[in-house]
Amino acid sequence: MNFDLPERVKSFVEQIREFVDQELIPLEPLLLQAGFRSLLPELETKRQWVKAQGLWAPNHPIEYGGMGLDLMEHALVSEALGRTPLGHYVFGCHAPDAGNVELLHRHGSSEMKSLYLEPLVAGKIRSCFGMTEKNTPGSNPVMLATTATREGDEYVINGEKWFTTSADGAQFCIVMAVTDPEASKHLRASMIIVPTDTPGFRLVRNIPVMGHAGEDHMSHGEIQFENCRVPVSNRLGPEGQGFLLAQERLGPGRIHHCMRWIGICNRAFELLCHRAGHREIAPGTALGTQGVIQAWIADSAAEIQAARLMVLHAAWQIETIGAKAARNEISMIKYFVAKTLQNVVDRSLQAHGALGMTDDTILAFFYREERAARIYDGPDEVHKVSVAKRFLKPQK
Ligand SMILES: Cc1cc2nc3c(=O)[nH]c(=O)nc-3n(C[C@H](O)[C@H](O)[C@H](O)COP(=O)(O)OP(=O)(O)OC[C@H]3O[C@@H](n4cnc5c(N)ncnc54)[C@H](O)[C@@H]3O)c2cc1C
């Protein structure tokens, strides 16, 4: 098997990695001390540089101003960008906009494309995706309770959503709502675009996550819909196809997430090695002389390597045999990489002692924000059940 990369790919991945290290990582102290919003003017300047270099929106279609990279190529870019929480935003490929762009590109009407898709890809507006509800299980979304009742040419939406990432400041939300309560369970819901200035749409709060409510793009909103009316033409795809569309987002989105997590692992690993090499625990004796720390380094290196190869293999499977045939691989990387992420960040934080608990390094941010990796995009346990069921099927 040949692991070489084409020169073109090597060159832009290296360029992106250098930019992340030299221009974005130095902004992290400000992010940690003053919050995301305070960085917006600086980030806009960085975005202009990225656009000028032709590196903007690497995963989005060329006709909308993106680089049009394929899944494998973007996986490598996502790894380089994941080294900092600012990477994907500055390069215009951040969640949840990236998934919404894909939905609009595949299923949007021409009006939706000019109203929402074009400014979204250009980074002029932001969006959010509202499926999960506090009182119904996100792990089994066919039970969702938010309704969109048809009245003439309009849907009237009522219900509550939460953990709607980046709702704060978003111009529109793609909402998953029940359009036909009588239909079979996978045909009950549809995806509907709701501009956030529509009467009846209310951002109740940014939900504190381990004590930090965040703001703007870096936040998770609780949203209330009260007799919120939008035209029926705001529906994405045919009525009742909401779950099918959600499923479509899964494969490629998973690769982007997992490679971002690998980027975080790489960064945490470098910090672990630096700390081990430089922290004296006795005169002239570095922390890294201790067997227990060496084992953390060795285990982390092997786990990251294994996780990375699994994700790249899954991306290759999606591109060669399709997402449906690759569903085991797509599920396995979810829980394997999320656990690797947690292991590596935890070891690195531990090696930093009290410093690891502060916001003087990026580790505490990763620890608190990325614990959720085992929960969102389908909790690990749900993926494990699916994988195990497929392996058990022949045993019946
Ligand atoms: C940081 C963050 C960002 C998010 N962003 C978004 C977003 O932008 N839009 C959006 O719509 N949602 C978002 N979510 C919500 C996320 O998708 C849900 O939290 C997730 O689907 C789990 O749903 P739940 O929280 O309702 O947990 P539940 O469904 O109540 O499950 C709770 C736990 O039960 C266990 N469990 C569940 N089912 C099974 C099973 N079959 N077998 C064994 N164990 C099981 C798992 O351990 C699971 O963690 C986000 C969540 C987080 C934390």
Read off the pLDDT of each residue in 154-180 and give the average, rounded to a whole number.
98
Residue 42, CA atoms < 13 Å, CB-side half-sphere:
14
Q: Going by CATH, does the domain composed of 243-395 fall within 3.40.50.150?
A: no
Length of the chain: 396
Read off the pLDDT of each residue in 311-333 and give the average, rounded to a whole number.
93
Q: How far apart are CA 307 and CA 152, in angstroms?
A: 51
Atom of ligand 1 nearest to the CA of 377: 17
What pLDDT score does 191 carry? 97
User: Which residues have C-beta atoms less than 6 Å from ligand 1?
Assistant: 96, 129-132, 137-139, 163-165, 220, 372, 375-376, 379, 381-382, 385
Give 7-105's CATH code, choosing from 1.20.1050.10, 3.40.1280.10, 3.30.9.10, 1.10.540.10. 1.10.540.10
pLDDT band at 245 (very low <50, low <70, confident <90, very high): very high
Looking at every residue in the chain, the average pLDDT score rounds to 96
> Is the pLDDT reported for residue 328 higher than 80?
yes
E-strand spans in 57-171? 127-130, 147-151, 154-165
> Is the pLDDT reported for residue 252 higher than 90?
no
382 CA from centroid of ligand 1 (Å): 9
Atom of ligand 1 nearest to the CA of 95: 8
- The model's pLDDT over 336-370, given as tens digits with 9 standing for 90+, comes to 999 999 999 999 999 999 999 999 999 999 999 99
pLDDT band at 247 (very low <50, low <70, confident <90, very high): confident
**Residue ranges, CATH 1.10.540.10, the chain:** 7-105
246 CA from centroid of ligand 1 (Å): 15
Chain centre to alpha carbon of residue 156 = 30
> Is the pLDDT reported for residue 249 higher than 80?
no
Contacting residues for 57 by C-beta, under 8 A, at least 6 apart: 64, 65, 66, 67, 91, 92, 93, 121, 123
Pocket perturbation via mutation, ligand 1, pick of 128, 135, 139 by most ligand atoms within 8 A of CB: 139
- The model's pLDDT over 22-41, given as tens digits with 9 standing for 90+, comes to 999 999 999 999 999 999 99
User: What topology does CATH give the domain 127-236?
Assistant: Butyryl-CoA Dehydrogenase, subunit A; domain 2 (2.40.110)
Output the six-digit token pair for 319.
């591109």
**118 against 251, higher pLDDT:** 118
Long-range contacts from 289-297, C-beta under 8 angstroms, 24+ separation: 293/351, 296/272, 296/347, 296/350, 296/351, 297/269, 297/272, 297/273
Q: Give pTM, 2 decimals.
A: 0.96
- φ/ψ of residue 376, rounded to 5: -80, 170
Q: Is the peptide bond before 199 cis (omega within 30 degrees of 0)?
A: no
26 CA from centroid of ligand 1 (Å): 33
What pLDDT score does 386 carry? 95
178 CA from centroid of ligand 1 (Å): 19
> Is the pLDDT reported for residue 1 higher than 90?
no
The fraction of the chain above a pLDDT of 70, given in percent, is 100
Coil/strand/helix, residue 329? helix
Pairing of strands 172-178, 127-130: parallel
